[in-house]
Chain A
């Protein structure tokens, strides 16, 4: 076996190794596929040439030489393809897509070379073995040479441009290596294979396939060292370890630090050299815990810990960290070191305390809100009570007045009755039948008199009657006139004369006065009772409905009247009341709540005009809109636009502090909204305000 054969076979072995290396690279990209193809082509070439050198006969050697042609023919286009793929993003896609054309000449050359030889047409036997004899000036030889130069030249041009345009140092280095190795390898091969024989140096062994190894080596370096085709796990791991925010500390079995990532030095303020081979005592105040775990991990390699442990900086500042420790085993399963990963907990703790703070603030806010809600409810309630309080004071007066009247009338009657009972038989005994009849007639008038006269009218009647009596020459005319008017007798008639001039006239009229007192007392009590009844009825109506939450068919006018009755006392003090009621049907509503609305509006209206002016209360049917309109208007001081904007805001009030909570109209609005109605307000400063409420009829 010739030495050149051995070298060539060795080269074939290296090519195969490189091909396997390329195949095992993950992920498999187009680029390493091309690399593998190139290596395989070269391996085939080297293999054939190896056999050729030591072939026993010329024909066998010639056969091996022809068989090697696919290797060297495909080399240049594969390089071009490799360069195209590598620089893919930066070459025109047209060129990239049509890259299979570059293989056509190679296939033609292979066909020719296999058939009758391309670069050589015969072999000579030299001292080192068989050597191809160059065909010299044959057309095929020059065509192949041109093809060879074009392919390699274009590849180098592409790589050159790629490197020039790249901003990455890695890519520039890769390109430089590939270009250098390609130039050296292929030029040497060209020189050895083609140029030397042309120059006549035929005694040197032709081993371009071995020289191409330089080129393949260049590609391999670019691939493996500069991560040409993919990121190797080691590179990635290193990169990750360098850039993670966590602290990575490798400990040997004795607990000494053997490796740290830059974050450790950064955070703990120790230099890398400082840390290396120092014990963990340097970085923690609690080495016992770690050592304890180290021992346990050593005995039981699957033991891992996750614990909170403070680490110590150079300035002895404790940094809270979450530490996890795991044993790292070699391929035989023996623990060789420990990986300690620590995470700075300060951001987490800050976040946690922020979350806690927020939760607390939120709880406080909720509480405050709940309290505000309670306060508002209480205020709403107190507003109701305030209105009611005012009402009650008025109503107390309203009830006390008739009560006073009843009380005093009862006293008067009680005393008049026995007197009358005593006086009547006595008086009758003095009177003639005609006089008795006149007496009874007078009593009859008194009993049946229904007219209620004002004091002024009464005074006028008394005056007239006094004059009439004086004309009839009756003494003490004024006194008799008074008695007669109280009996309901307003005109003097001659039939009265016998009684008026009767010798016992004084006693007779005393008896008549007593009886008229009785009658008037009773009537007074009746009137007073009616008044009390009316008030009590209104009070009962004001809040007679239960809170079942069900709407009730109710005539709004009835509610308005109830409220007006309760406010009668305040209205009559100087307010003229105008009622403008349409005949309307009852609507479904919450009568109690509407009463609260009317109460608020009437109260506000009276307040706005200081109880002097005209209060207009009306109900109108709006059939087109399917609504009922209730309006309450006053002739008070009115509101500015600015005030008008705010009246429905809770707690807004124009009343003095303590007089109103400012919730009245807020409540009104809520009640109207509950009825799916709406409220409008018209107001002009100095002219008054009208609230209009629209309630759906259906």
Chain B
């Protein structure tokens, strides 16, 4: 039974679908993939997964979303689950927000839309390695 999960958060479904296709292609059944369209939904999923005994290894989050922004969301997650690797995927860079997330949520990578497959793969692989290394 797979008990490692990757969570993707973005308000755009097309991004989530793209991520799903890419992640499944590269990592197949190594992880459970969950997708949320907002930070609120993501928090629910995190709670559900944690309850179900599933370990979240990595979160890929958009920055500019309705309601809670990516930086705030990742910082919140970091306070509860500091071990989770955080990756930001954004189409509009707000340098302050990225800096804040780096400092306060130990941001692992920040990817810019449109991202390349290799960038994403590298971010996830290095992220997972970080966990394994610990």
Contacts and interface: CB of A to CB of B under 8 A. Distances in A.
Contacts of B120: 408
Nearest to A416: B25
A405 B13 CA distance: 9
B24 interface: yes
Contacts of A479: 29
B13 A402 contact: no
A405 B65 contact: no
B21 A455 contact: no
B36 interface: yes
A253 B92 CA distance: 100
A627 to B, nearest CB: 36
B19 interface: yes
B37 A408 contact: no
B21 A456 contact: no
Interface string A519-545: 011001001100100000000000000
A407 B21 contact: no
A406 B21 CA distance: 12
A415 B115 contact: no
B37 A456 contact: yes
A411 interface: yes
B21 A409 contact: yes
Nearest to A403: B114
B108 to A, nearest CB: 19
B22 A411 contact: yes
B91 A400 contact: yes
Given A397-B91, A403-B114, A527 B25 contact: no
Interface string A382-414: 000000000001101110111111111101100
B66 A572 contact: yes
A400 B35 CA distance: 20
A266 B117 CA distance: 103
Interface string B13-57: 111111101101100010000111100010001000000000000
B91 A527 contact: no
B106 interface: no
Nearest to B32: A478
B67 A401 contact: no
A454 B35 CA distance: 10
B103 interface: no
B11 interface: yes
Contacts of A408: 18-19, 21-22, 114-115, 117, 120
Nearest to B41: A456
Max count, chain A CB within 10 A of own CB: residue among B24, B45, B90, B92: B92
A513 B25 CA distance: 10
A459 B120 CA distance: 24
B113 interface: yes
B113 A520 contact: no
Contacts of A315: none
B8 to A, nearest CB: 9
Contact of B24 (A393, A401, A517, A574): A517
B12 interface: yes
B64 interface: yes
Contact of B11 (A393, A517, A527, A572): A572
B116 interface: yes
A397 B92 contact: yes
A451 interface: no
Contacts of A524: 14, 17-18, 21
Contact of A574 (B18, B67, B90): B67
Contacts of B116: 407
B21 A401 contact: no
Nearest to B64: A397
A417 B34 CA distance: 25
A493 interface: no
Given A397-B64, A412-B22, A455-B36, A405 B91 contact: no
Contact of B113 (A400, A411, A517): A400
Given A404-B15, A520-B21, A455 B41 contact: yes
Nearest to A411: B117
A401 B66 contact: no
Given A520-B17, A574-B67, A401 B25 contact: no
B21 A573 contact: no
A401 B36 contact: no
Contacts of A403: 113-114
Given A400-B113, A455-B36, A456-B37, A517 B21 contact: yes
Nearest to B44: A456
Nearest to A398: B91
A407 B91 CA distance: 14
Given A394-B92, A456-B41, A412 B25 contact: yes
B12 to A, nearest CB: 5
Contacts of A452: 13
Max count, chain B CB within 10 A of own CB: residue among A406, A407, A416, A479: A407
Contacts of B114: 400, 403-404, 406-408
Given A394-B92, A401-B91, A574-B67, A409 B115 contact: no
Contacts of A394: 92
Contacts of A573: 64-67
A416 B13 CA distance: 20
27 contacts: A393-B92, A394-B92, A397-B64, A397-B91, A400-B112, A400-B113, A401-B12, A402-B14, A404-B18, A404-B113, A405-B14, A405-B17, A407-B115, A408-B114, A408-B115, A409-B18, A409-B21, A412-B25, A415-B25, A416-B25, A454-B13, A455-B37, A479-B29, A520-B21, A521-B21, A572-B11, A573-B66
Given A412-B21, A569-B64, 18 more contacts: A394-B92, A397-B64, A404-B91, A404-B113, A404-B114, A405-B14, A407-B116, A409-B18, A411-B22, A454-B37, A455-B37, A459-B45, A479-B29, A517-B24, A524-B14, A527-B13, A572-B66, A573-B67
In order of increasing CB-CB distance, the 5 nearest A-B pairs are: A404-B113, A404-B114, A400-B91, A397-B92, A397-B91
